[in-house]
Amino acid sequence: MAFREWLEIEPFGEASAQNGFGPTSRMHRFGHRIAGTDAVLATIEIPLSIVLQSIPIEVTTRLTPSGAIRTNLHLNERGIQETPLIQLVKELLEPRALVMEEVRLSDLQALQRSLETSIQLVSAVTAALQGWGMNHAFVGHE
């Protein structure tokens, strides 16, 4: 029996003791411990100011006309990340992801219906724009 099979390990994060006064002195401790115990296997302490820089103040997501999902993380140093919709679908449908997410046939059927409805919406708008003789959505916009 392997060590990992009989020993459950869990991640944790918690506020730890302050080193002085003020927000720069507050620390957070992250690590792994034996599940259900206080027996710590490994830890690292990080100043709260660094932890807070990694937490988005606001997250917005939108679909671009080219089919990419654009996520804007409003942080001090991070910006816009764009992911093509087809890439997200491919990642979901990889066998390992299907197993990890415990995807059922009914889940995939619901996804398929959603994508088909999306295709119908895009087709309807495309046909309407072509009917108006427009090559782009905004008149005068190149």
pLDDT (0 to 100) of residue 139: 47
What end-to-end distance do the CA atoms of the chain give, in Å?
66
Q: How confident is the model at residue 4 (pLDDT cuts 50, 70, 90)?
A: low
In which order are the strands placed within the sheet that holds 27-34?
9-15, 27-34, 40-47
């309407």: which residue's tokens? Answer: 128
Contact 35, 46 (CB under 8 A): no
Report pLDDT digits (tens) over 23-81. 566 888 899 998 888 888 999 988 887 877 777 667 778 777 677 788 877 665 556 66
Cα–Cα distance, 90 to 88 (Å, whole number): 5
Using only C-alpha atoms, what is the Rg of the chain?
24
Cα–Cα distance, 17 to 48 (Å, whole number): 11
Report pLDDT digits (tens) over 87-115. 888 888 888 888 877 888 988 899 899 99
């206080």: which residue's tokens? Answer: 38
